[in-house]
Every structure is written in C-alpha cells, then in structure tokens.
Structure 1
Amino acid sequence: MNAEQLQNTLRASQYAEQVLGKHSALLEQDYAIDQFLLPLTPLQIQNFVHDTLEQITDESTWMHALRVLRARLMFRWIWQDANRLTDVVTLTRELSDFADAAICAAKDFALAPLLAKHGEPIGYGGAVQDLIVVAMGKLGAQELNLSSDIDLIFAFDEQGETNGRKCIDVQQFCILWGQKLIYLLDHITADGFVFRVDMRLRPWGDGSALAISHVALEKYLSQHGREWERYAWIKARIVTGGKEGDELLEMTRPFVFRKYVDYTAFEAMREMKAMIEREVQRRNIEDDIKLGAGGIREVEFIVQVFQLIYGGSKLELQDRQCLVSLHHLGEVGLLEQNAVLELEDAYLFLRRIEHAIQALNDQQTQSLPVEPDLRNRMIETLGFDSWEQFLEVLNQKRAKVIYQFEHLIKEKEPDPLVESFTQLEKQLNEVLDEDAKNLVHEFWYGHALKKLPAKAVQRLKTFWPHLIEAILQSDKPQVALLRLMPLVESVLRRTVYLVMLIESKGALQRLVKMATVSPWICEELTHYPVLLDEFLSMDFELPKRQDLEDSLRQQLLRIEIDQVEDQMRVLRLFKKSNVLAVAASDVLAESPLMKVSDALTDIAEVSVNATLNLAYQIVAKKHGFPLDAEGQRCTLDHTAFTVIGYGKVGGIELGYGSDLDLVFIHYISEQGDTDGIKPISGFEFAMRVAQKFMSLMTTQTLDGRVYEIDTRLRPSGEAGLLVTSLKAFEQYQLKSAWVWEHQALVRARSIAGEVSLREKFEDLRCRILTQPRDEANVRAEVLKMRQKMKDHLGSSKEQQKDGIFHLKQDAGGIVDIEFMAQYAVLAWSGSNPDLAHYSDNVRILEDAAKTDRLSSADATALIQAYLRERAESHRLALANQSMQVSADDWYDTREAVCKLWQRLIDPTATFALDRNDCV
C-alpha cells in the first residue's frame, strides 16, 4: 500500500481504521493488485459479488461473505475519496452498482427456501411471478452516498397462488421473499450490515403490505397518490423484475409527469419545504448540509420542480439523475447557464462534504461534526487549512443555492387583486352589455361550478381577479371576455392551467391580447388545453426549420416504432403547438407575411417528412424492404419514395387553416417482393406506406388531426391509385393530363422522401412544364377553368351588387393572380425555362419580369396586390371570418389585377367603375 495514501485514508475515516484492523490481510491482498483503484464497471462489481458468494448455501456464511466484501469495497471508496482518486459522479455510481448487485444476490438467495416450501408463485394468467424491486431515492438515481440507506418498494405483476405443498397467495409469497431480502442485507451481525433498507416510501407507508401488485399500485397512485410521492417517483428505477418491472414503471410515468405543464408543483414544493424547515428547527439541525438552507435537498428541489412542471412535454427532463436533469434545464432554456453552473458546483461540493462526514464513522448523517478532532479530520480530507476557511467557502456556495431556490419557489405575497375583487367586478360590469353580464352570472352560479372540488373553486376565485384586470386593460374587454370564457370553462377540472397563468408573469396579458385578435387561437386552446403549455414558454420568435426538425426527431426517437398512438399524439401536438407559436408571433410580434407562410410551410414539411419515415419503418418492420426500379435493395436511407406537395404547401404559401394537397410517388419495383418474414409485392408495399402515412396524419384522435389531406390531384384523381410510380406519373403527365393538371404542377414540388428521387421528380416537372405550347390554347384553357371556379366559388351577382368582394375567388382576387402566374409558366417557359424553376407565385412573377415577359411595373403591381390580399386572408383566418370583404376597400387593388388579366388572359374583360367588378 502507498503509505501516504494510507495515512490520508485512516485520517479521513475512523471506520477505515476499524476495517483495516479487522481485514488487514485481505486489504493487503487487494492493494497488491494495480487494478484495484481503477474505476469499476457494473459488470466488474457484479462479478465481485458473484465470485464472493458463489457456491455458498449456508445463510450465515453468505451474510458474512457479503459483509466482508462490503467492508473491502468501502475501504477502497474511502481511500479513493480521501486521496482524490475519484469524483463524486463515479463514486456514487459505483456505490449504486454495488447496491444493485447486492439486492439481486439477496433476492436470488432468498428464493430457494421459499420455492422448496411453497412452490412457484403463479399468476392468474399462468405466468410465474417475479419480485419486482423498485429502487427509490438516491439508489434509484444511482447517486448513492458512502453510508446511505437504500429506499425500496416491492411489487409483483399479478395475484395468484403458489403451486407447492403449502400453497399461499402470490402477495404473501412476495412479502416473505421481500422480508428475507431485507434481512440478508439489513441485519446487523458481528460483521456489520450491507445496506440499511427503508421501505417507508411504499403505498400507505409503514403498516401496509410489504409487496403490492401492479393493479393495486396503479389504483393507489391514481386515487390516493400525494404530491410528495410524485417527487419520490421521479427517481424510481427497476433493479429486478424484467419486462413486468419495466411495464410497472411505465405505468407510474403519467402520475409523475403530467400530460400538461403542471405549475401546482410550486405549491407542493413550498409545502414540502415548509415541512422540512419545521423539522430542521425541531431537531436543531441547521448545519445539516442536506436538509439545511442551501443544502443538497434544495438543489434537488430546484431540479425536481422543473421536472414535474415540464417533464410531461419535455421528455429529456425525465432523467433520474440530478446533474443530468440540471444540464437539460440549461439546454432547454428553463435555467440560465450561469445558474446551472453555480448549482452544479454547489451540489458537487456538498456531496463531497457528505462523503467526508459519512466516511468518519460509516454513519448515515449529513450534519457537520462538532468534535474538534472530527472537524480537523474532515477539513484535511477536503483540503482546507482551517474550519473557518471551510465554512466561508461552504456558506458562499450555500448562499448561491438559497438565492436560486428562493428566486424560484419563494412564497407568494398576499394577492392584492383578490382583496379588490368587488371593485374589479364593478369596473367590468360597466363595459359589458346585458348578454355578457348574464353569461358571467350563469358561469358563477351554474351547475359546473357546484360539481367542482373545493380546491378547484378556490383556484378559480384566485385566478378570476387576474383575468378581469387583464381584460380591463385590453382595447376590447367584452370581446376578450366572451372569447376566453369557453377556455376557462374547459380547464375547470384541470385548474393547474389557472395556476400557470397566475404564476407566469405576462402570459395572461398575452393571452388576452391574442383573444382580442383571434377567436381561432382561443378555440384551438379551448379544444386542446395542452397547447397552453407551449404558449407559456413561447419567445414569440418564428420557429426555425432546423429547430423544428431537431425537436420532432428527438420526441419521436423516444417512442418505440409500434407505439402508434404515442406517435400520433406527438405529431399532432408538434403541429398544433408550433402553428400556435407562429400565430403568436404573427399577432404579438407582427411578423412579416412571407416569413409567417414560410414558417407554416416548414412545420408542414417537417411533419410530412417525419410521418413518411414512420410509415415506411412500420411497413418495413412487418414486411421487410422492397427493391427499387433498378433492382437495388431499398432501406431507410434509400426509400425510393417521395411526397409531392401541391397548392399552398407546394407554393410555400400555407395559411393557418390550410389542408395539404399531396401526391405520393415511388421508384420501387412493383413486381418484386419484399425481403421480410411476411413478404408482399413492391406495389403493395408502396400502397401500404401511403395508407399508413394517411392514417398517421388524418386519424381523428383526442388531439385532433395533424392535417387534413387532399390527394385528388394524383393522376386520374379519385379514380386513380393512391400512390404512383415515377414512370407512370411521367406517362400520365405527358400523354393524358389536362391543361389544368399542368397548371397544378406549376405549384408542385417534392417536400419529403429520398433526395435522389426528389431530384428526379423536379427534373421531370421542369421537363413537363417547359414543353412548347400554343399560347392561344393555354389562354383558352386557363380562362375556361377560371370561369368555372368563379361560377362555383365566387360571390353571387346579388352579393356583388351589394358591394361584396370574395378576396380569393372573385375577379381581381388571389386566384386571378395565381392563374396569371401559372399561365406565364405554361405559355412562356418553353422558350424561357427559368420560369419553371420556382413553385411560388412571387418568384414566378419576378422571373417573368427578368425574362421581359412582364414589365417590371406589371410584375410589381401583381406581387403587391397578391401580398396585400394574402395578408388580409391571413388576418381573416385568424379572426375566423369569411373571405368576403367590402368591395369599396379593394377597388384600386382589383383594378390593377383586372387590367393585367384583360391584357394577358381575356381581352373581352372590362373593369366597370360603377359596379366595382371585373366582367
């Protein structure tokens, strides 16, 4: 042994002195091996335990051997810690790995006599039942300290009976099994103990059954689970129990991590903190570096409160380990990076002090020693020259934790708005008409509130003055109130949202402003309150394409490929939350129209790409991969499949309520079979991918649909196949397509799928569009199609006489401009191929000017008219209003469009000043 290191070890720990005196021969043998002080892997620790206990059948010999091994390993860990040969994370992980191995060994050893006496425990479903051991607390998080209790919960999958000579039920069998496991580890012998076992975290605590079934645990958590138990179950981890254990733990996740952002965690945290403070005062343990102010528990509280608030929607926050989740909080922007670094530094320092305290006498304590000799031992181990110097550093680090904790979870001052409730109601009544007053009265005295729990009613009463104050500050108080009332009613039984709006400064004011502008936003939030989670954390910048891709990919990576319901939920909430973010940026930050459309189109494209990947994987998992048209095996990287976007998504001009016009094209060998266990033809494979895509996108769930999808623009329309080969698409477009189908192709582009196939499609599209065409014929076909649309979708003659203008379908509207852009491509791209390059109207019109087919003034006039009309259509969509507007307000814009229409398409059309219409 290294003499200096040995001296440091013995100075750091009286317990180490005892171990050395009792097991000097073994320790000298251990320390003669160079590898002994290197980090240990979980497998190495398992092998230590296995090799130590192998072939031991006598209980007392088994217990002696494991306790001696524990003493040897503890000496090693104290040696490493005292000589700074390890770090906190490595040390706590190794301690936890040893606990896991000891638990597994004890569980196995305890089973044999029970089987001999009672037989195997058989569930009612016929399966042999296993004892599920759930590690809680520091062991669950794999953060065990040098002299820590291990918090366990015992469970089993289902009830039943044993099949031996002395039959007992499965629960009793598992209780006996658990009792023996505890005895093997916890019982103090001449050699000490292995681990103190604490079972008080089980449902109902002390006095309740030691083992509980999956069903009983699920019922307990759903009906009786308390807030502090949510904190406890954050760190839960299955030590033994196999697939049934994993399923049991998965069942607890919704109890811990609520589907919606949960600001009630603040309230529970304050109650728990107050309880701990009372206990600290009662026991006079202010110097406890775990429970005292600025201690380990406060760092954990800060992390856990964010985990409980956001963990249901931000899955990366569900990690059990404190430091890992702390870093995630910084990455997702919930904590400032400086705060993350300060808390990490304090946590590691406090954990090292904890180890130094516990190394002294192998005692489960976090209180600073009072005896001078123990103090001196501890500060030498920690590298300080004096107790005063140590306290100065400790207090500095604790102060930083206290600041962050109080800043986050400080007690609320008495709410002055609640005190002035009557005055606020009086002011509100002064701006409401009788119908609105009656609506408020019915809300407060109706049946819905009478059925609410008292706590929910109290939260509503706390929230109401805040709502009134925000509404009174708006420029349309009655409008805001009437639009927000359905939202308030929709969350009455999930009043966590009311807490959220009170806790989140500024969120309520933003919500009121958005309500005055957009009933559509209010309706979305009312139907899908989960979107409030995202609303509260928005920065009101338009989402970036890369961020969208990264976010959705990370969310879907955490879901197994066969968990279709979870996939659909993620896709729906991704789309809805990000569209809401765009709308918020549109309304509150007044983002430019083109950027709004770009963002909405990006959301759609990212959704389509992800859904196509999922659909392809699901079908391939079942049937294997097909061959492509050239005989090469398709893979996830070579799918030979693409999705073509037409219309608004193709033209990068999506609005808030837009559906998606899509066509599916493949490059798969239709006759060849897939290479899976259940082979199907390549044609059927492509069809199933398209069908699965449609199902993932359009199935109506509680979270709605991702998008409405229209596939009627595929070859032969509704009579045609859902998915088409590239060759068949080419043949159709060249030989059978109508002119209007080539018009549609102008606004088409590949938006998802394999890159090489997307490039093939784009080449084909340009080749089709740049065919030489007779201008007169194109003009006649475009005019005929436009007239059909006016007749079926435009304003009636009576409406036109009444001064109504349909912004999209009437003459001089959006469709006229779109048709002129399409005409430009079909009529002129034969001699000017650059006109077929883009699919969006603005750039097509710009290119028409560059090629001198349109004058710069004409192109500018059309673009300005188009952007103005589209901007108004956006505003109307947000306001849930129709596209019919006052013709008088649009006269100049329509005149410019109609005059160009007359010149390009229909020389017989005139713009009649007296009727405000193009005829």
Structure 2
Amino acid sequence: MATLVSSSRAEAVGRAEANAPFLRSSIAAFPAIAASFVEEGSDAAVGKALSITGESVAEQLRRQRHALALAVALADISNEKPLEWVTATLSDFADKAMDEALRAAMLERVPDEEPRGLAVLALGKLGSGELNYSSDVDLVLLFDPATLPRRPRDEPGEAAVRYGRRFIELMQQRTPDGYVARVDLRLRPSPEVTPIVLPAGAAISYYESSALPWERAAFIRARAAAGDLDLGGSFLQEIRPFIWRRALDFGAIQEIRDISLRIRDHYAQGQQFGPGYDLKRGRGGIREAEFFTQVQQLVHGGREPELRAPATLDALAALARTGRLEAEVAQAIGDAYRMLRTAEHRIQMIDDRQEHRLPADSEALEAVARLHGSESAAAFLEILAPQVEAVGVQFDALVSDRDERLSNDPDILRSELTSMGFEEVEEAFRRVADWRSGRARSLRSPPAREAFEAMLPTLMRSVAAGPDPIRSLNRFGDIVDKLSSGVNLYRLLSARPKLADLLSLILAHAPPLAEQLGRRPTLLDGLIDESSFAPPPDAAELADLFLVATRGEPFDIALDRLRRMVGERRFALGVQLLAAHRDPIVIAEGYSDLAEAAVVALTELVSQEFRRSHGDVPGGELVVLGLGRLGGRALTHASDLDLIYLFDAPPGTQSNGAKPLPATDYYNRLASRIGAALGTPTATGPLYDVDTRLRPQGAQGMLAVSLAAFEEYQRNEAWTWEHMALCRARPLTGSDAARSKVRRLICSILERPSDPARIRADAAAMREEMARHKPPAGPLDIKLGPGGLVDFEFTVHTLQLTSRIGLDPRLEVALEALVSDGLIDDGADPDLRLLSRMLVVLRLVGSKAMEPAEQSRRLVATLCGYEDWPSLLAATDVARQRIAARWARVKGDE
C-alpha cells in the first residue's frame, strides 16, 4: 500500500516537471521538498517548507513561500489533499508571513517598542481562508493613533504610512528568492485619495455613512489576519451593522440586483465556454458562484447569524442547512466551485502567474489538462462544462428584467456609443465604465445609480452631438466625482429632459461654466430653482444682500460665503446667456453689477476686520475706482477687474487703533487685503483677477494713492492713454459724498482744454504700439483685430477728450451725446452692440482666438440675434469696416 501511494506521488511529481515550468524549477530549487512529499506525504512536505530559514525576515519568508508553493501544488495535483486544505494552507502561511513582515517593519523604526496599534484586515479570498495558488492578498490596513508606537517626532499617520510601505516592500518586492505575496490595497475607502494606512476611527465613520453596496459583499469575508488582532477585531465588530442589516428593504434588493447586473454584464457577456474561457469572470465562473452565495447571505444574514460564514463552501452548507437554499442547488454550486477553483490552480501552477483564463493555445491547454491528470484538453473541458453551466443557470435567476438603458455589455455598449455619434468610442466607453465602477461618491446609493442610468442615454446623445464630446464627458466626470450626493440631480435630469439638455449645452459649448461645475458641482443646485433665471438685481441691492448674508459671521467664513454667493450668481448669469434667457448686453451689465457688488461688500468686510487692529483714519475714506469694462458696465464672463485705490485723508493723520498706522500705510495695506480677498483663489474657487496697473506710475507706483496725489499726477504727468482710460472710470465704494467728489475730479481733469491734434496723434501712436505688442489672436478677434472693439473704444475716447462731450464711462451713453452733436454717425451704437454681444458670447463659448467650434457656431449666431453663422459673420464684417473707417477719420488718416 505504501508503495502504491509513493508511486502515485512520484507520478504527480513527474506531471509537475513535465507540464509546469514553475514547478519544474521549484523541484530543482528544493529537491528535499519533492523527496519529502514522495516519501512522507503532503503534511511532511509542508512542514519541511515552513522550517526553512534565511539570513533575514525577507529572505526567509520568500524561501518558505517558494518551497510551500511546491509542496501545496504536489498535494493538489496528486489529489492527496482537497481544495479546502490547499486554500487553507496557503491562507495560513499568508497570515503568518504578514504578521512577521509587519512586526519586522515596525521594529526597524522602534526596536524598543512592542509592535501594536496597526491591524491588517484580510478581505477577498484571504479573508475567507480560500487564497488562490497565485493570488494577490486584498488588505485594509488600520491604525490606532493612541497606541501606535512611533519615533518622537513622527505624527501617528506618518508613522503608520511608513510602517505600511515597509510592510508592502517586505511582502511583494521581488528578489532572487522570489516574493511572498502581491499586496492589493484598493479595497480600502476611496483608495485614490486616502493614505495606505487609515485611522480606525475614520474608517468606521466611512463604513457607517458612505460605503458602497459592493463593500457590503466584500466585508462578508473580512477578518483580522495579522498585526494588532484586537484592534482589527474591534473594528469589524463596530461595522457589523453596515454589513449585516436586519431589515431587507427595497434598497437592499436594488443593491443586490444592481451588483448582479454589473458583474454579469461587465465581465461575462460574450465569453463562451471553451479555450480562452475566463474561469473567474466568465458566465458560470468562480465569481458568479461566490456572488450567488453572497447574495443569499446578504438577504438573510442580518437576521440569521449562522449564515455569516466567510468561506463560500461553508456558506453554501449553512444556507442549505437552514433551508435558505435548496440542498440540490447548494450541492451543485459547491461541486462546481471546487472544480473551477481546482482548474484555476492548475493554470496558475504553470508559471506562478495570477491567470484565470483557460489557454486559448491548444498546446498550452493540453499542458494544463495533463497537469490536472486528464487524458486530453477535450476531456478536461468535458469535466468543466457541466459545472460552468450549473453556476450560470443559478446566477441567471438573480438577473431580473430592467428598464431601457445603455447596455452593460462591452461590445453592445461600444455599438450604442458609435450609433450616438461618438468618434472616440473607446474613450467614451472607458468613461461610462468608470462611472459604473461605483467609485464616485455621488453614485454610491442604488437610487442614485438607477437615476443616473435612466438619464445617461439622453445625456450621452446630447454630448455626442456637441463639439469635442470626450472633453464634455470629462467635464461631466468632474461633476460626478465631486458631487457628495447625486440622486436628486440625476433624478431631476431624468425627469426634466430640458434641464439635461441645458447641462449638455454647458458641457458642449461653455468651457468656463463646465470648469466651474468641475470645481463646484453644487452650482447645479441653482439650475433646479427657477430663480436662477430671474433678472439680476442691481449692484446696490446685491451688495446689501451679500452683507446681510454674512453679518455676524467670523471673517474667514464670511469671505468664503460671499465668494460662494458671487460664484453662484456669476454661474447663473452664464447659464442665462447660454440658454438665451437674456440679451448678451443685459448679461454684461449683470456681470458688471455683480462684480461691483462684490467689490463693495468685500471692501466693507475687509475694512471691518482691518479696523480691529488698526482702527479708523479720522476724516479719511477709501474709494475704489473701477475702470475699463467694469467702469463701463460691460464685463464678460472672463473679464478681469481694472481697479485704482484712492484715499482722501487730512495730511499727517494716522489711524486710531491699537496698532496705529500713518494714513498712507493704512490705506495701502487695506487695499492690498481687498485685492487679495478679490483675487486669491480659495477652496470655493477663484473670484476675479484684479489689475491695478492703471494707477499712477503703474506697477512702480503705490497701490493706494491719495486723492491729492492722484489729481496732481493726472493734471501734470499722465499720458494721453491714461486720460483715455479715465474716460471709463467710475467710483464704486465710499460714501455718496466721497464718490461724488471723485467723479467731479475726474470730470474736471477730462474737461480741461487740450490740444486735439496731439491727442489724436498720441491715440494713433498708442494704438499702433498696442497692435505690435498685443496682436489679434485670430481673424475673428473682434476685440483686438482691425475694426474691433479696441478701435471703437479709441474712437470714442479720442472724441471725448478732443470735444469734452459725452464724458460718461458707459460707451452707449457717451455715443448718444456724440451722435447728438454730430461727432459720430448714428450707426455707431448698433455696431457697438453687435460686437459687444459677440464678445460676451465668445468669451463663454469660443476659444482664446474667439473662434467657436463648428458645432457651436449656430448657437453663437442665435445668441447674437442672427439666423446662422454666415449671416453673423457678414454683419460683423460690415460693422468692422465701418468701425475701422470711423477710427481712420478720427485719428486723422482721412
């Protein structure tokens, strides 16, 4: 009898040498293991493998693992030991190796401390003690900041990550002795943003509030496997209610249905049994057997603790024993699972690779069959086929009918995306697959995913019809990723196709709005409320609203709240423009009023905070002057703010606070803080870019200048171009008296007698200089190009300075006076309005060269009041010719 057994074992060694390169090399490296197996059996061979030593922990673990792989393989292919023994032996070694590796990692940094406070949770097949022959180990690493030993200057989190990195290195770094196990930490919460070792408390909060449905299934098999077992055990005890819910509600059923659909459709469709079949992911494969079992556990395990067995075969037995699964079904699934796992091991023994597919190559498949002990590949497939079908039939029953939606089948989905009009089908396919992975917070609940799937076809069709669809999908992806909860939005988009169309319009045509949504997805909330399409309030009303909303808040919170409110209204104005709710010129006025209100409110908030330390300057006041498009109430979505800070204070005064400052220092520091509040990007996003180079002496001058110094400079030193800029200056802040005083001063400067010929010559020279340094971005640059808005502004400002008529910062008001006096034709105003509309629209829809994408051109034309793009271009060309002719006449070329 002993001779027969020894002969059988020797035959298994021969099969291993003949058909599996990895096992052949292992026998050569560890002949004593093979000899022990033949002479004494599997247990003795395993014992000998685990007794191997090395000069370091890393070397010893690698040599033990290599020798153990040989001993287990021989026990397996000889059928001396069952599957449960094979997987348990591999799992036990992994536990032991992880414990030793973690201990070594910690002792390297704190040799005088007993390792504690860091736990290794095993999930997946290691968690259930069913580790593959060549498998990753799915782990979650947790630490307790209160008990983790660390060096004096190490923060707990920093120390934990150091230990974790060294642990991973000891486990998976390949050396001449091989490796211990490949470590996969992607099952931890939000792996793309979280450290590799998590505080236990934070992890508990995550699983109690934010975890995904698939994580429930994953944690069925979780256990504390190494390190601080008490810490790991207490953590699992804390999150048990997350895994095992007592009440089976509609949401739980939907979770099960959704996960089932995604596993079947995403991994299995189109995979026919035969050469190349995926034993893990194919229809009727290992994953379906496991998930079929876990579904039954999720349904009933909350009320029946005896069903919570982590191992698949144990769970099937428990389900049959309690009557929750028919005994015949449990037996069929169990038998299939054993056979599928055994076949998977045969494949992995060939080259010690984490492979799950049957070889497509006939010779390679024959080698796997011979290693198993089958006569041929055909005989091997004949054994597997009924097992695969048994699992597939049972898993089919989990999949119910579903509503119309984009397919989960990769090939069908690609076909659907192609028919929608996507040219870069693979990019679109990858984006949809990423959303369906469940990683985004906004797609974690079953209702959110259902709503998302319901609205996805409509959104994808709209996006495909727009310009640069992949970029639009990426922008939408930013929104999906950053939403904390998406169910209401997705339901709304599904229920209100017009809103879905509007979102597609933004994604397709308005990069600035899409980027805003990417930074702050909550801006979409405003689209739900019809008030976002109401006419915007004026600047004074808005400023009051902002100050009331921030009253009583700490300074930092008040600033952030004000920034959010401004951002929301700015976004709403862009949406109004894109959706044709308002004339672009009205939108430009709205942008300007919003910016003015922001300047007024932020100036007040910053001044209040500044007074806490420095008090007030008796008799002093700060006036913020708006110039350019802000002064002329003609801002676009992309405009920066041209500002000059002026102060009026008695000579020699200083502030009366705890830290007094001379008036000049006081107002310069205050102006600097106002500029920072306006222009510094924060978590709520950037507000405005601020340009203060129009102040006296430009960037070389003081940030805030006294009113007297400003007057002196403007009267005696300023260049003609600075007076042209002053034509659009408008006081924004300060008391009524202060603003009136500044306005009178500006008018008196501009109304001074002047030399018209010199002004025209200076203006012409300056325009030529600007053309050299700031050439048009393209032929459609209606701002800097010939006959564009800059030429128009130069024309108007030259006429204002030479005639001293129409001195109003708003061009349309100035034109009315100039037309009345016969200084310019009455066609100037329509030309200004056409180009202004185009500028406002193209700043939202066009590129830097103001060239809209082909698909956006009709939209641009419509928003500007024309039927189509050629009609708009024709009208623009005529207007630009007239503007160029006016400028030529004014500067004296005619």
TM-score (norm 2): 0.50
Tell whether 2:807 aligns with 1:823: no
Write out aligned runs for 1:442-591 (5 A).
442-445=430-433, 449=437, 451=439, 456=444, 458=446, 459-460=448-449, 462-472=451-461, 476-477=465-466, 479=468, 482-492=471-481, 494=483, 496-497=485-486, 499-503=488-492, 505-506=495-496, 507-538=499-530, 539-545=532-538, 548-561=542-555, 564=556, 566-591=557-582
Tell whether 2:882 aligns with 1:904: no
**1:843 counterpart (808, 813, 817):** 813
Contact 1:793 1:809 in 2 (8 A): yes
Provide the secondary structure at the position in 2 that maps to 1:674: coil
Provide the secondary structure at the position in 1 that maps to 2:836: helix
1:537 CA drift (Å):
2.3
Write out aligned runs for 1:258-277 (5 A).
none
1:523 CA drift (Å):
1.7
CA deviation profile, 1:822-880 (whole Å, cap 9, x unmatched): 01110001xx4xx21x10111111110122333xxx1x322222221121122221124
Provide the secondary structure at the position in 1 that maps to 2:444: helix
How far apart, in 1, do the equivalents of 2:441 and 2:780 lie? 52
Write out aligned runs for 1:723-738 (5 A).
723-738=704-719
| Other-structure match for 1:878 | 844
CA deviation profile, 1:493-523 (whole Å, cap 9, x unmatched): 6351354232364332321133333222112
How far apart, in 1, do the equivalents of 2:463 and 2:203 lie? 46
How far apart, in 1, do the equivalents of 2:776 and 2:677 lie? 37
CA deviation profile, 1:317-342 (whole Å, cap 9, x unmatched): xxxxxxxxxxxxxxxxxxxxxxxxxx
How far apart, in 2, do the equivalents of 1:448 and 1:702 lie? 28
Tell whether 2:432 aligns with 1:432: no
Contact 2:653 2:663 in 1 (8 A): yes
Q: For this pair of structures, how many residues does the alignment match?
A: 488
How far apart, in 2, do the equivalents of 1:221 and 1:827 lie? 74
| Other-structure match for 1:812 | 787
**2:625 counterpart (622, 644, 647):** 644
Given residue 828 of structure 2, which amino acid in structure 1 is its aligned partner? L
CA deviation profile, 1:354-381 (whole Å, cap 9, x unmatched): xxxxxxxxxxxxxxxxxxxxxxxxxxxx
How far apart, in 2, do the equivalents of 1:867 and 1:499 lie? 40
Contact 1:809 1:815 in 2 (8 A): yes
Contact 2:417 2:429 in 1 (8 A): no
How far apart, in 2, do the equivalents of 1:447 and 1:593 lie? 36
Provide the secondary structure at the position in 1 that maps to 2:610: helix
CA deviation profile, 1:432-461 (whole Å, cap 9, x unmatched): 3441x1112222445993755796285346
1:218 CA drift (Å):
9.6
Write out aligned runs for 1:227-626 (5 A).
416-418=403-405, 426-435=415-424, 437-445=425-433, 449=437, 451=439, 456=444, 458=446, 459-460=448-449, 462-472=451-461, 476-477=465-466, 479=468, 482-492=471-481, 494=483, 496-497=485-486, 499-503=488-492, 505-506=495-496, 507-538=499-530, 539-545=532-538, 548-561=542-555, 564=556, 566-626=557-617
Contact 1:740 1:782 in 2 (8 A): yes
**1:852 counterpart (822, 830, 847):** 822
| Other-structure match for 2:369 | none
| Other-structure match for 2:214 | none
Provide the secondary structure at the position in 2 that maps to 1:626: coil
How far apart, in 2, do the equivalents of 1:512 and 1:574 lie? 24
Contact 2:647 2:704 in 1 (8 A): yes
Q: 1:768 to 1:217 in 2, by over 3 A?
A: farther
Q: 1:766 to 1:442 in 2, by over 3 A?
A: same
How far apart, in 2, do the equivalents of 1:455 and 1:847 lie? 59
Q: 1:785 to 1:429 in 2, by over 3 A?
A: same
| Other-structure match for 1:748 | 729
Given residue 483 of structure 2, which amino acid in structure 1 is its aligned partner? R
Given residue 878 of structure 2, which amino acid in structure 1 is its aligned partner? D
1:592 CA drift (Å):
1.1
| Other-structure match for 1:914 | none
Provide the secondary structure at the position in 2 that maps to 1:661: strand
| Other-structure match for 2:682 | 701
1:730 CA drift (Å):
0.8
CA deviation profile, 1:540-567 (whole Å, cap 9, x unmatched): 2232126533431232114123xx2x23
Given residue 763 of structure 2, which amino acid in structure 1 is its aligned partner? V
Which runs of 5 or more structure 2 residues have no equivalent in the other structure? 1-145, 147-198, 211-248, 253-400, 852-869
CA deviation profile, 1:364-406 (whole Å, cap 9, x unmatched): xxxxxxxxxxxxxxxxxxxxxxxxxxxxxxxxxxxxxxxxxxx
Contact 1:808 1:814 in 2 (8 A): yes
Provide the secondary structure at the position in 1 that maps to 2:815: helix
1:415 CA drift (Å):
8.2
Contact 1:531 1:573 in 2 (8 A): no
Q: 1:620 to 1:826 in 2, by over 3 A?
A: same
How far apart, in 1, do the equivalents of 2:250 and 2:626 lie? 52
Q: 1:727 to 1:502 in 2, by over 3 A?
A: same
1:472 CA drift (Å):
2.5
How far apart, in 2, do the equivalents of 1:659 and 1:442 lie? 37
How far apart, in 2, do the equivalents of 1:547 and 1:498 lie? 35
How far apart, in 2, do the equivalents of 1:454 and 1:651 lie? 42
How far apart, in 1, do the equivalents of 2:578 and 2:416 lie? 27
Provide the secondary structure at the position in 2 that maps to 1:806: coil
Contact 1:463 1:499 in 2 (8 A): no
Contact 1:670 1:683 in 2 (8 A): no
Write out aligned runs for 1:656-695 (5 A).
656-669=637-650, 671-695=652-676
| Other-structure match for 1:315 | none
How far apart, in 2, do the equivalents of 1:874 and 1:642 lie? 28
How far apart, in 1, do the equivalents of 2:608 and 2:615 lie? 9
Given residue 577 of structure 1, which amino acid in structure 2 is its aligned partner? E
1:614 CA drift (Å):
1.1
Contact 1:734 1:768 in 2 (8 A): yes
Provide the secondary structure at the position in 2 that maps to 1:496: coil
Provide the secondary structure at the position in 1 that maps to 2:565: helix
How far apart, in 2, do the equivalents of 1:443 and 1:474 lie? 13
Contact 1:743 1:822 in 2 (8 A): yes
Contact 2:459 2:501 in 1 (8 A): yes
| Other-structure match for 1:861 | 827
How far apart, in 1, do the equivalents of 2:591 and 2:201 lie? 41
Contact 2:643 2:694 in 1 (8 A): yes
Contact 1:542 1:596 in 2 (8 A): no
Contact 1:644 1:750 in 2 (8 A): yes
Q: 1:415 to 1:445 in 2, by over 3 A?
A: closer
Q: 1:449 to 1:725 in 2, by over 3 A?
A: same
Provide the secondary structure at the position in 2 that maps to 1:753: coil
Q: 1:452 to 1:609 in 2, by over 3 A?
A: closer
Q: 1:446 to 1:471 in 2, by over 3 A?
A: closer
Q: 1:477 to 1:880 in 2, by over 3 A?
A: closer
Q: 1:573 to 1:447 in 2, by over 3 A?
A: closer
Give the greater-gyration-radius structure (CA): 2
